[in-house]
Amino acid sequence: MSDDLKVYEKQGFGQRMGFGDKPALLIIDFINAFNDADKFGGGNIQSAIDNTAELLAIARHLDLPICFTSHVYATDRSEDGIFNLKSPSMNDTLIPGTPATEVVDELEPRPGERVLHKHYPSGFFSTDLAGWLAKRGVDTTIVTGCTTSGCVRATAVDAMGHGFRPMIPRECVGDRADGPHEANLFDLDQKYADVMSLDEVKAELARLAPDQANVEGGG
């Protein structure tokens, strides 16, 4: 056991929240610009997309609420905020209605699945996501997407703050660099979410719907 983990355990962190009774799948910013190393991608983002495709097929089979997010800014700069001071190049790339801000082909949304536009890291900030989930009786959010250290982290923390249990399948989140990815998974798991393997998430879904959850890939 690492010295870091010993400190957290001594102080009582790292307990399990566990799944509730009604999960939803959140797919955060798996858009073309964030899967392009020449723009904002790189690292393990493609493998996270591939793994999320498997989970998405199961969520569709179970008829779970599914929400994608795309990070966008109006070309007239009317939607710019303080966040853009840290990453000004986003303004010129993340333009609504362009290929850069479309969900990647492997995860193409279907009719009835929400695509939510956002301007800040969290999918909850200045959006109606919390109300949308509450309307559907959701108590658990399975958070996938990128980047682990940015929009995934912010969304998971805000999910917890809004009363939803955040579950993070580690194979289904990605970052442009390994260090921030691993550090944030550790911290999220200790304080804000349950970081689980994809197989563990699939097992939980099978437990909630034992007669329906046996589906592999495709969809």
Rounded-to-integer distance, Cα 120 and Cα 102, Å: 17
In which band, very low, low, confident or very high, does the pLDDT at 176 lie, cut at 50, 70 and 90?
Answer: very high
Residue 219 above 50 pLDDT? no
What is the four-CA torsion angle of 73, 74, 79, 81, rounded to 10 degrees? Answer: 50
Residue with tokens 């996501």: 129
Assign 209 a pLDDT band (cuts: 50, 70, 90): confident
- The kind and range of the H/E element at 205 are helix 198-208
Per-residue pLDDT, 213: 52
Domain boundaries, the chain: 21-208
- Determine whether 151 is an active site residue: yes
Examine the pLDDT at 14 and tell me if it is beyond 90: no
pLDDT attached to residue 218: 45
Q: How far is CA 43 from CA 29, 46, 67, 135, 182, in A?
A: 15, 8, 24, 36, 12
Superfamily designation of domain 21-208: Isochorismatase-like (3.40.50.850)
For the chain, give the mean pLDDT: 94
Kindly tell me if the per-residue pLDDT of 2 is higher than 90.
no
> What is 92-129 written as a DSSP string?
HH--TTSGGGSBPGGG---TTSEEEEESSSSSSTTSSH
18-76 confidence digits (pLDDT tens): 999 999 999 999 999 999 999 999 999 999 999 999 999 999 999 999 999 999 999 99
Give the residue among 102, 101, 165 at the shortest CA–CA distance from 133. Answer: 165
Residue 215, pLDDT > 80, answer no
Confidence category of residue 217, pLDDT binned at 50, 70, 90:
very low
What is the dihedral angle through the alpha carbons of 120, 124, 126, 128, rounded to the nearest 10 degrees? Answer: 140
CB-based contacts of 174: which residues, under 8 Å, 6+ apart?
43, 44, 45, 46, 47, 48, 49, 145, 146, 147, 148, 181
The answer to whether the peptide bond before residue 75 is cis (omega within 30 degrees of 0) is: no
In terms of C-beta density within 10 A (0-12 exposed, 13-18 middle, 19 or more buried), how is residue 122 classed? buried
Which of 67, 146, 151, 172 is catalytic? The answer is 151
Nearest alpha-carbon partner for 143 in 3, 39, 35, 19: 19
Cβ contacts of 208 within 8 Å, gap of 6 or more:
19, 21, 23, 62
**53-62, 76-85, 92-101: range with lowest mean pLDDT:** 76-85
Measured torsion, CA atoms of residues 71, 21, 157, 146, in degrees rounded to the nearest 10:
-40
Confidence band, pLDDT 50/70/90 cuts, at residue 1: low
Per-residue confidence at 4, pLDDT binned at 50, 70, 90?
confident
Q: Quick one: pLDDT at residue 199?
A: 98
Q: State how far the Cα of 57 lies from the Cα of 27, in Å rounded to an integer.
A: 13
- What's the whole-number mean pLDDT along residues 118-146? 98
Confidence of residue 194 (pLDDT cuts 50, 70, 90): very high
